A and B are shown apart, each in its own frame.
Chain A
Amino acid sequence: MSVTLELNPRTKLAALVWAASFVLLLPPLASWGFAGLVLAVVWGISPQLGPRLLRRVLEVTLPFSAAVLLVQTIFLRHPDAEPLYGPLNFSRIGFERGLSLSGRVTSVVVLSLATLLSTPPASLLRALDAAGWPPALAYLIASPLLILESFKARVQAIRHAQQTRGWRLGGSPLKRLRGVFLLISPLITTALIEADQRSHVLAQRGFRAFPRRTTLLPVPDAAWQHWVRLALVSLSFVQLGVVSWIWLQSKI
């Protein structure tokens, strides 16, 4: 765990870009193996992080993978499709395509979640600030992580207000749907009000007054990590070039 945590977040981002482009070069089944390998490595480094990562990966990729496999294998009409039942077919080509697509997506999800779970958003922002990234760009990258917490807090506040006025969570699908509607409108309204307030607060405290900002608590960044990042990003470009070339060859 210490190795992954000690890496500068920008190095982790560069590694993520490299690995995501590497996945595109892998044969279909190998992408599943790669995803498993990443999971195993993370689990080995951090026994605390491993189970959390596995759970999140399963939550995100299982429904997606199942849907892709079903659609490709049974619903889409591929050249080798054999009738199964009514409008349904079975296609081995479709099955392999589904496996390939879901494997690649799973690999990228595993890599992204591993990066996300091992990188505190505060460190990411500080690393980007220290590197002189434009404040707005750094904010854009980190904002999903920042917004998530305040969004969760607002959802909870509205839910608690509704529950303490007698609203029961759950119930029939119709009641659940009404519950969703009861949340959406105030969330949007309060988000708009808060956004207006926050833009004033940011402006009066000098956000974007200069093209870059500094940081009170810089994240350690060794010289060797700079070279590693450079190598990873360069390699990513090469890999993406190879992928594009292969794709073009298949079209000619």
Chain B
Amino acid sequence: MDLVAVEDLTLRWGAVEVLRGVRLTLAPGERVAIIGSNGSGKSSLGQVIAGWHGQGAHRSGTVTIGGDDPAVLSPSVRPGTVQYVGQVPMHQLSGRAFSVKEEIAFGPENLLLPRAEMTERVADLTDRLGLSALADRDPFTLSGGEQQRLSIAAALALRPQVLVLDEPAGNLDVAARGLLARAIEALPRDTAVLLLDVEPDLALRLGCRMLSLSGGVLQPFEPSQPLLPAISGPGDATGDKAILAVQGLSFAYPGSTPLFDGFDARFFPGEAVALTGRNGAGKSTLFRLINGILVPKSGRVILAGNDTRGRRIDQIAVEVGTVFQEPENQLFAPTVRQEVAFGVEQLGLSAQQRNLRVDAVLERVGLVEVAQRHPLDLDAASRRFVAVASALVRAPSLLLLDEAQRGLDRANKARLATLIRQEQGRGAAVIFICHDPDFTALYATRTLSLS
């Protein structure tokens, strides 16, 4: 008998039809993967199966788990029935736990499990997901990859019959992906897993039954998806005078072991450098040391020949453009156009010059059609490109992209790669943090690995 049964599910937000006549079944213990591009409706489907949706959406068709609608399951039964782990790790945290082990124990605590049982589950999951060394850390201070592993551990602590994972490997480095795959493989034999992803790699490794979702319609998976295209551009630096030189950089967060101790690196015009390394290795911290948000303990950051010591963040921003992780937390204007225009308004240009720049960037990044929409109304991929456009509009000589390719489908990765190539072409240096070896191999002129 099927554990999960989705029958003719149609979901509509206003005039937008997200899912159309979806039919899906999962048997106990079955592993099913749904591969789809950004905005194809994967998350909506996963959330409906987890009983999240209902208010604000027009829905027809039925979804049952073990014969019951998950949305109306008793609050004490639902946690052990289905767990959904979404794409943005920070949003999966309870907000009520002050340490990693408490976050994992949060669900079992709610269900009044005996303390010995909780202790055992926490120890087992911290070990399996590589969180033992972080057990006493505040969940909000973890890196994106660490938070992602934590949110999966917290879901597994409830031992659900159905586990829905929405792009679970997006934030993870190669080693952490291996840990995740092994953790899924080690799940009880009767736990059904629904994997939602833009890439089939993890699903293939887990031997999932494969489906694809396109335009809200579920279809058989077509394995011959187009590969990432090679995009022509500078294969190496186009200038010999470093845009950025990091000299003898040392830095440690209070109470932590040093992340950098005498670190040296140089970056040249026309380069696209991939910054790689395990989660928590200090990649994002290096960006924050470069753009002035953090101050090095010792050492120097030389930008276009000038030491950044004593310079404010906004002064450094004349040369450095930054796209942070999870840009949805950093978008603040009521329309895409205003969001993009904000950066150029600070440059002291005339209104005509500003408009020309904004129009050109919106066109280049492919945001013209959504220019008057609220940035947070867009899908995750489009929001990412709003953040990219907001940095590009200032024409920085150094562009820092913190996992900007994460969670993008192949078409959007190619779109991002084109922008990187264009930046290289005009003589800027681009440094991008990346856990995707294919993207790095194709689009980086060199790789810098932090350990």
Contact = CB atoms under 8 A, between A and B. Distances in A.
A135 B50 contact: no
Contacts of B346: 165-168
B95 A122 contact: no
Nearest to B348: A166
B83 interface: yes
Contacts of A129: 109
A201 B96 CA distance: 11
Contacts of B83: 204-205
Nearest to B293: A160
A209 interface: yes
Interface residues on B, range: 35 or more
Nearest to B331: A186
Contact of B78 (A166, A193, A203): A203
Contacts, number: 161
Nearest to B154: A205
Contacts of A209: 74-76, 79, 110-111
B91 A198 contact: yes
A216 B105 contact: yes
Contacts of B155: 205
A67 interface: no
B267 interface: no
Interface in B90-131: 91-96, 98-99, 101-102, 105-113, 115, 118-119, 122
Q: Taking chain A's interface residues, is the majority helix, strand, or loop, or is none over half, making it mixed?
A: helix
B110 A206 contact: yes
Interface in B55-88: 74-76, 78-79, 82-84, 86, 88
B76 A210 contact: yes
A166 B109 contact: no
A213 interface: yes
Contact of B314 (A153, A168, A200): A168
Interface in A173-228: 182-183, 185-186, 189-190, 193-194, 197-198, 200-210, 212-218
A161, A165, A210 interface centre (most CB from chain B within 10 Å): A165
A139 B109 CA distance: 14
Contacts of B394: 165-166
A119 to B, nearest CB: 12
A206 B105 contact: no
Given A150-B140, A190-B329, A198-B91, A216 B98 contact: no
A192 to B, nearest CB: 10
Contact of B96 (A139, A189, A210): A139
Contact of B113 (A167, A169, A214): A214
A121 interface: yes
A177 to B, nearest CB: 16
Contacts of A215: 109
Interface residues of A, number: 53
A125 interface: yes
B317 A210 contact: no
A163 B314 contact: yes
Contacts of A246: none
B304 interface: no
A59 interface: no
Given A165-B342, A201-B91, 18 more contacts: A129-B109, A157-B329, A160-B330, A164-B391, A166-B318, A167-B342, A201-B94, A202-B96, A204-B82, A205-B79, A205-B94, A205-B106, A205-B154, A210-B76, A215-B109, A216-B101, A216-B105, A218-B115
Interface of B: 47, 50-52, 74-76, 78-79, 82-84, 86, 88, 91-96, 98-99, 101-102, 105-113, 115, 118-119, 122, 140, 154-155, 158, 291, 293, 312-314, 317-318, 320-322, 324, 327-334, 342-343, 346-347, 376, 390-391, 394
26 contacts: A120-B98, A129-B109, A135-B110, A142-B96, A161-B327, A161-B331, A164-B314, A164-B320, A164-B321, A166-B347, A168-B346, A190-B329, A193-B376, A200-B47, A201-B91, A205-B110, A206-B76, A207-B110, A209-B75, A209-B110, A209-B111, A210-B110, A214-B112, A216-B102, A216-B115, A218-B115
Q: List 6 tightest A-B contacts by C-beta distance, closest first.
A: A166-B346, A161-B330, A186-B332, A165-B343, A206-B110, A122-B98
